[in-house]
Structure 1
Amino acid sequence: MNQSLAGKKVALLLETEYIYDELVYYKQQVEALGGELHVMSYLWGEPSKTFVNDCDRADLPITQMYATEVDRCVTQHNANDYDIVLCAANYVAVRLREIPPMGSVASPALVNTAPAVQFFADAMANPNIVKGALCHALWILTPNPQLLKDRNVICHTVVMADIINAGANYIDTGEHVVVDKDLVTGRSFADVEQYWSAIVDVAGKINKT
């Protein structure tokens, strides 16, 4: 299938403990398909922040960990300006759910007020935006369980209990990728190629209004 992202904008939510190879993959793929990638996060009032990857390989010394500087804050961008909104895998979503101010006790009433959580929720409200959540990334949605209710998804087994409790339908497929209209989910980074292909395919079918 001829896939293209010409003229399309992609937002990627990132935080510390991301998977470096996933970031590189999206950068290469979006550029190759003619799209525009914006890597963003919540910057806590700073002009930029540096995030480090998850170092889970025995052959990668701590001194060789990768760092990525991000200067786009979700509070300065509108989810509706994007054609595709992705939350990176691994523990990115956990960190993005931190409720300002950092280190506060907060309260249950504020559980869905983290800026990145709100950004992704805004994207979920627009069926013309393709949403992608890989591996642990559905944690970005669990503070708003109504957004997961009755949606067909797949995720890392660590997240399964949370998405079921939110009312989602966990679907086990041989390809480890599930497409539910404008929401694409994948089991883990090992499935990133099939997951990304599905995202681009859905993006090609959605007509912006």
Structure 2
Amino acid sequence: MTETSPLPPLRGIVGEATKGRIGVLVEEHFDMTEYRLFNDLFPRHGYQVVYLSHLWGNANLTFGSNPDNGWVEEHVLVETEINSVKADEFKGIIIIGAYASDRLRYQVTPRKGEPNQAPAVVFLRQAMAAPKVKLGTICHSLWLLCADRALLQNRRVTCAHNIICDVENAGAEVIYGPEGTVDLVVDGNLITGKHPGITEQFISRFLSEIEKAD
């Protein structure tokens, strides 16, 4: 495919929060399918999408999607520092898929015996402890929860086939069907999806779980 001039980055707040806000954790190399559907379907149902990341002391950072067609088609300008918000300010928190989730778990100075202190991991500990806040992952994004075994121990989940070993080693129970891992699993406040191909199904169930909690 021939590369065309990139569009300006989308500002990282999409839609009006008539029903509440959905926080999406993002970094470089995010999944483009999920990104486009989040920006379309959540605002259509009355939820504002707010992209969150660790900004490393910057006022904002721009992140690009995976180069699925040989070049980076989508960019998002993130202005919300994850350290500046609390999980319970959102109706739901989603970790976007692809390698963004691996980058989000990076910590500058790991110490023996100390849980991962990456800002995104610290934030997710808050989210997992807030029963009314729904947490969602699709495909590779469960990687981020693997950064701290306490986040996944004994949770029932699904994920991309590539990361099954990582997820099971982190203490989760991966649910299988006739064709490998199942499409969707709900375990309390955690909703997990298999891969970007089921993103619309995932969003529908995520919204259903949010509205049940209300």
Offset at 1:61? 4.0
Q: Aligned with 1:37: secondary structure?
A: strand
2:128 maps to amino acid: M
How much does 1:172 deviate?
2.1
Aligned equivalents of 2:105, 2:46: Cα separation in 1:
31
For residue 20 of structure 1, report the CA deviation from its aligned partner: 2.1
Counting strand residues as a fraction of each chain, which structure ranks higher?
2
CA distance in 2 between counterparts of 1:82 and 1:67 reads 23
Q: Higher mean Cα deviation, 198-207 or 170-179?
A: 170-179
Q: Work out the CA distance in 1 between the residues paired with 2:91 and 2:60.
A: 24
Matched, 1:92 2:100: yes
The two structures have a TM-score, normalised by structure 1, of: 0.87
Match of 2:89 in 1: 81
In the alignment of these two chains, the number of paired residues is 195
- 4+ residue runs over 6 A deviation: none
Alignment correspondent of 1:34: 46
1:185 alignment partner, one of 182, 192, 196: 192
In 1: Cα distance, 2:201 partner to 2:33 partner: 15
Tell me by how many angstroms 1:114 deviates: 0.1
Q: Which residue of 2 aligns with 1:159?
A: 163
Aligned positions of 1:138-157 closer than 5 A? 138-157=142-161
Q: Which residue of 37, 41, 49 corresponds with 1:25?
A: 37
The residue aligned with 1:47 is: 59
Residue 16 of structure 1 is matched in structure 2 by 28
Task: Give 1:99 shift.
Answer: 0.7
Structure 2 residue runs without a partner (length 5+): 1-16
DSSP 3-state at the match of 1:178:
strand
- % identical aligned pairs: 28
After TM superposition, give the deviation of residue 84 of structure 1 in Å: 0.3
Separation (CA, whole Å) in 1 of partners of 2:130 and 2:177:
26
Q: TM-score with structure 2 length normalisation?
A: 0.85
Q: 1:121, 1:144 within 8 Å by CA — same for their partners in 2? A: no
- State how far apart, in whole Å, the 2-side matches of 1:61 and 1:185 are: 28
Deviations for 1:86-109, whole angstroms, at most 9, x for unmatched residues? 000111110001113xxx5x3344
